[in-house]
Structure 1
Amino acid sequence: MKNILLGYVLLLMVVSCGGQQKSSDSLSDGQGMELTETDSDTIPAEVLSDTLIVVDEVVPVTADASFIDFLYYFTTDEDFQHSRIQFPVSFYNDTTVLRLTADEWTFDPMFDKDEIYTVIFDREEDFELENGTSSTSVQIDRIYLTDFHIKRYYFELKNEHWYLEAVNKEKMSRTPNTGENFYDFYIKFASDSLFQSERLSKPLLFSTVDPEDEFSVLETTLEEGQWFAFRPPMPANVITNIRYGQQDTENSNTKIVEFKGLGNGFSNTLYFRRINKKWKLFKFEDLGD
């Protein structure tokens, strides 16, 4: 992504200019010998190599236009990530803390190779926080569902640029007596098709872009078989939550999980409700590009 070869463009320009001369034109090599136009077409390899100009691709100034724009470059460009960390950066791990210098930091892509991330809300009213520009502090949680640990990254906006300030790894709090825990439910829902089938509202509400009008949303329902045909990929071991300031509590009886892609337009949303202490999926939304 970083190297763009422009030598061939320059070479074509030279050949193009030479082609405008008459075939009878000749060039002197400086020693009394004349080079015909045919001779000038044969360029030594060392000359060709000298025409290859390497230009580094520059991160656009819009990298901080939104937090997600920043996050794309932060998780895909090693140099950019290194430039956007406040060193020495604190790394907290339960009761210990390390302060990593720039030389000690290792590039952290943060997401899996498919670059799908999730955002979790308790209510739809908080959606506006995700697309707003008022947030000056954002946390990203990597939630490890196998041992219920969270790795949390703390980002701050300073002088209109986002920076990573600290990383904290801690155990996830799990309050009893609130009914079925959402994350316990989600693990089974994402990995067990039979359990998934049992926890679908029937019929399942479905929203998608109208195929006849891309500016309109089509509201309909899905049967069980249609859900399994259109359901989004759901990571079962590690999920994320980008905290823009929205509520995310265990006591809430609604959970909204967005599945999004970094830079590829993928966007699916699942709406869950806890009824009689059990979670069910009642709405599926596919509004991606």
Structure 2
Amino acid sequence: MKNILLGYVLLLMVASCMGQRKGSGAYSEDSEADLFLEDSVCLPDEDFSDTLIVVEEVVPVTADASFIDFLYYFTSDQEFQHSRIIFPVSFYNDTTVTRLTEDQWTFDPMFSNEQVYTVIFDKEEELELENNTESTSVQVDWMYLSDKNVKRYYFEQKNDQWYLEAVNKEKISRQQSGGEDFYDFYASFASDSIFQSERLSDPLLFSTVDPEDEFSVLETTLERGQWFAFRPPMPADKLTNIRYGQKETEKSNRKIVEFKGLGNGFSYTLYFRRTHGKWKLFKFEDLSD
């Protein structure tokens, strides 16, 4: 594309030069030859290197093909985000509510600046909900683990397009479930290597793409040292969760945490289970590109 644009600019320059010669009056064959030798390259008055050609990214019509496709453009394109908010948008903060107009809204990149985002499930069969194109309502959570706050974005699909309709910030409500709270456990697991080592099942199941056949999955196990060599980046102070309709409960003794990247090929999944009140990692899956 850059070569085409450059060629077009050079063509305009040549046409300009020819126009200047035609307007210079009478000339002889000798003078024409001299002009060709001396002015075979016509340079503009200003340095061409200072000319910048800016080509803006065009949002494709498939931006709503799936919710995650929509979310990519919503979190990376300021104009697109502005066009996909139902104004005035309600912003709830515990017991207060503010309704923001178009002029008051500030671009929100959400988690697009992070290396990974996470999606959390209780059951393996619910993983397929990410590919469900029939859902018309999705909730995106930002969970701040240190102060136990959550910021929730509510998206609705209208006329086959996704829109943000409300944002809610509140305290995370947790009930005693007869064992460790998963998010308290995860905060320690992600930040403390000694604690992490103590909470690995032995053996630790491991699944990854077969290096000899990219369409096959290799099933094996990892020792503790191997886990620390292959473990994915894990945010320690906050987690995200995209709720496609999965039923997450505090009483569940299983948690599946997907670690994904927006356009960077990351795709890791950690499988946890709670036994005798304590959480442990029992399976690690790496299907990154």
Which TM-score applies when normalising by structure 2? Answer: 0.89
User: Structure 1, residues 214-257: CA drift from partner, whole Å, max 9, x if none?
Assistant: 00000000000000000011101111000000011100000000
Aligned to 2:39, the other structure's residue is in SS state helix
C-alpha separation between the residues in 2 aligned to 1:230 and 1:9?
48
Q: How does 1:147-162 map to 2 (within 5 A)?
A: 147-162=147-162
**Separation in 2 of the partners of 1:222 and 1:144?**
31
What percent identity do the matched residue pairs reach?
Answer: 71
Query: Aligned-pair distance for 1:288?
Result: 1.1
| Secondary structure, counterpart of 1:226 in structure 2 | helix
Show the counterpart of 1:29.
22
1:30-69 equivalences in 2 (<5 Å): 30-32=23-25, 34=32, 35-36=35-36, 38-45=38-45, 54-69=54-69
Alpha-carbon distance in structure 2 between the residues aligned to 1:47 and 1:219: 60
State the alpha-carbon separation in 2 of the partners of residues 44 and 231 from structure 1. 56
Q: More deviation in 253-262 or 54-63?
A: 54-63
| CA distance 1:37–1:248, shift in 2 (3 Å) | farther
Could you tell me how far apart the structure 1 residues matched to 2:264 and 2:125 are?
25
- Which residue in the other structure is 2:8 paired with? 10
Q: Structure 1 length as normaliser, TM-score?
A: 0.89
Judge conservation of contact 1:6–1:52 (CA < 8 Å) in 2: no
Within 1, Cα distance between the matches of 2:125 and 2:52?
Answer: 54
Structure 1 distance, partners of 2:3, 2:164, is: 33
Give the deviation of 1:9 after TM superposition. Answer: 2.8
Structure 2 residue runs of 5 or longer lacking an equivalent are none
The letter for the 2-side match of 1:61 is V
Count of residues in correspondence between the two structures: 280
Q: Distance in 2 between matches of 1:198 and 1:225?
A: 12
Q: Give, as a single letter, the amino acid of the residue that structure 2 aligns with 1:141.
A: D
Aligned to 1:102: 102
Looking at structure 1, the residues matched to 214 and 108 of structure 2 have their Cα atoms a distance apart, in angstroms, of 37
Letter in 2 for 1:215: F
- Contact 1:199–1:280 (8 Å) recurs in 2: yes
Q: Which amino acid aligns with 2:85?
A: I
Structure-1 separation of matches of 2:162 and 2:282: 36
Computed over aligned residues only, the root mean square deviation of the Cα atoms, in angstroms, reads 2.6
Q: Go from structure 1 to structure 2 and tell me whether the alpha carbon gap of 1:180 and 1:6 turns closer, same or farther (over 3 Å shift).
A: same
Does structure 1 retain, via aligned residues, the 8 Å contact 2:119–2:240?
yes
Contact 2:205 2:222 in 1 (8 A): yes
Superposed displacement of residue 13, structure 1: 4.5
Map 1:1-289 → 2, pairs under 5 A = 7-13=5-11, 28-32=21-25, 34=32, 35-36=35-36, 38-45=38-45, 54-111=54-111, 113-289=113-289
3-state secondary structure, aligned to 1:188: helix
1:166-203 per-position Cα deviation (integer Å, ceiling 9, x unaligned): 00001111101421100010000000000001100011
- Counterparts of 1:246 and 1:234, CA distance in 2: 22
CA contact (8 A) 2:207 2:219 kept: yes
| Cα shift readout 1:14-73 (whole Å, capped 9, x = no counterpart) | 68999xxxxxx9983312155426415122236969x97654331111111111111111
Aligned partners of 2:233, 2:115: CA distance in 1, in Å? 12
Larger % of helix: which?
2
- For structure 1, the residue ranges without an aligned partner over 5 or more in a row are 19-24
